Amino acid sequence: MRLGFLGINYKKAQLDIRDKISFTDTMKLDFFQKSEAAEVRQCMVLSTCNRSEVYFVYTKEEQEAKIRQAYEDMFPEIDLKEYIDELYGQEAITYLFRTAAGLESLVLGEDQILGQVQEALDYSRTMGFSGKELNRIVRDAVTCAKRVKTELKISEKPLSVSYIGIRMLDRVCGIAGKRILVIGSGKTAALALKYLCEYETEKIYACSRTYSHAKRLREEFPQTAIIPYEERYQVMGQCDIIISATASPHLTVQRAAFEPEKPVTFLDLAAPRDIDTGFESSPYAKLINLDMLQEIAAENRKERERLAKESEEILNEALEETALWLRQSRVDFAIESLQQRCGVIVEDSYLYLNRKMELSPREQKLLKKVLNASLQRLLKEPIRELKRLGEEQEPEEYRRFIEKLFQFE
């Protein structure tokens, strides 16, 4: 039994390609059926916005090409050859472990992928396309990923400038109990509002050049008061914090139009800048700009990379345990067959002797126990040796020899 991996992810394929190769649940079932036709009965599909990958357990080398063809057949309108990655055996297992831990993600160390790996296995199990080997490998990968996240806390080093900016605001001036104006209605502004909602603010205002866009923000953040863009300067006088995150080529907050008369903190999340740098000379103003935040984000990214390297020791330890289990599992069939053969011999011998001798119920039980103990004693060393041989890299020849010696089917 070996693990195989193939698929497409963000490293080779742009979003317009990835959008076309996403698996729906129905498509996953279709792929499982194609895999079954190739005699691959353990298969998992991991389909997210950044990857469309399959993991499968197989026994014959020719199945590798069959699964690849099945994958390509799922998306006949696209030539996938230049995008597909393939890994087999220990390399595939290592990749799965790294993926579950967020070490192969676009955002290094992100948490979401771990749940997606678990959900992918749950779906395969529910549909009857997972087994002992796939379950064990994925479970070990998930356990290892949880250990990496618990011990190293990679994901706790934020990379989003919106997140970092809001956290810096809280350190500089405190957010709870404050009045805040957010200018902008795009993704960055929405993220800023999302993080602001974690605090007990007194009031949050929002505005955008396009009033209808700002109103859409209120659907997601109903506690936000939407004001016309033209009234922003009047509202600023009531606010303690002003955040601007637009794509405007011009300043949205000019010193000439607003002179702070009480302490106010500006957070400029735009490039080019939204907020006039002239506020730096105001005795009442503090200005946080994108350059400061990106410097922190870069430091956090380096720290994540350092922690990712540190996680290799945890990964290697877990990978060795999984590899050992897989090697030993290759002789499980032989051990189980020996045990079953032992049971048949005990039963046949017991029935023969019971017919030849007049035995009491107590003597019958004792006879069966003695016969079973004797054969188990005979098999004890061979089974122990089989398990030891299973720890070696290539136990297949030993397994085949035992099966031939005892004529197992």
C-beta separation of 39 from 60 below 8 A: yes
Residue 217: both structure tokens together? 């923000």
Long-range contacts of 85-89 (CB under 8 A, 24+ apart): 85/5, 85/6, 85/7, 85/8, 85/9, 85/11, 85/12, 86/4, 86/5, 86/6, 87/4, 87/5, 87/6, 88/2, 88/3, 88/4, 88/5, 88/64, 89/2, 89/3
What is the C-alpha to C-alpha distance for residues 179 and 224, in angstroms, rounded to an integer? Answer: 11
373: left (phi over 0), alpha (psi -120 to 50) or beta: alpha
**Cα four-point dihedral sign 57, 59, 64, 67:** negative
**Cα four-point dihedral sign 302, 306, 312, 314:** negative
Which is catalytic among the residues 49, 144, 207, 342?
A: 49
Is 49 considered catalytic here?
A: yes
| Cα dist from 299 to 270, 305, 330, 399, whole Å | 20, 10, 46, 53
- Active site positions, annotated: 49
